[in-house]
Amino acid sequence: MANSHGLKSNIVKKQAAARKLSKGKKKSFQVYIWSENPQTRKNTSYKERTHYFENKKNFPKKKLANKNPTTLIEQGIIDERGFFVKGKKKNFLTKSMVDSKGLDFYGMPR
């Protein structure tokens, strides 16, 4: 009856092993949580939770260091027209998807 849910046996075994690994950890490792739901945390492997936590810590913050356009251009965060170089194609100066002339990131009228 272990396979009544239709999954292959090797997948079921991996899930059981991951559950077993995540349940036996010390209380100090509760920091590495995937979500606040304890059921989800128990079903996610310890290794997966630690990788998630490390990636989350190392991910760069979205807040800008300063909001002066000239320094942002010098740092290479925005280009001459005011568009962000990386990430969303949004204009920093106009706070919209077009620049002051009404052209989008690719120079096309929008």
- pLDDT tens-digit readout, 37-56: 777 777 778 888 888 888 88
Residue-wise pLDDT tens digits, 15-44: 887 777 766 655 545 555 556 677 777 777
Specify whether the CB–CB gap between 44 and 50 falls below 8 A.
no
Structure tokens at 23: 């349940």
- Tell whether 54 and 83 lie within a shared domain: no
- Tell whether 88 and 71 lie within a shared domain: yes
How many domains is the chain built from? 2
- Tell whether 45 and 15 lie within a shared domain: yes
Query: What's the rounded mean pLDDT across residues 63-82?
Result: 90
- Tell whether 107 and 68 lie within a shared domain: yes
- Tell whether 50 and 68 lie within a shared domain: no
| 3 assigned to some structural domain | no
Amino acid 24: pLDDT: 61
Amino acid 78: pLDDT: 92
Least confident of 3-7, 24-28, 50-54, 65-69: 24-28
Residue 93 clears pLDDT 80, i.e. is over it: yes
What Å distances lie between residue 43 and 16, 38, 62, CA to CA? 8, 9, 31
Q: Which domain holds residue 84?
A: 63-110
pLDDT bucket at 87, cuts 50 / 70 / 90: confident
Specify whether the CB–CB gap between 53 and 31 falls below 8 A.
yes
On average, the pLDDT of the chain sits at: 80
Amino acid 28: pLDDT: 46
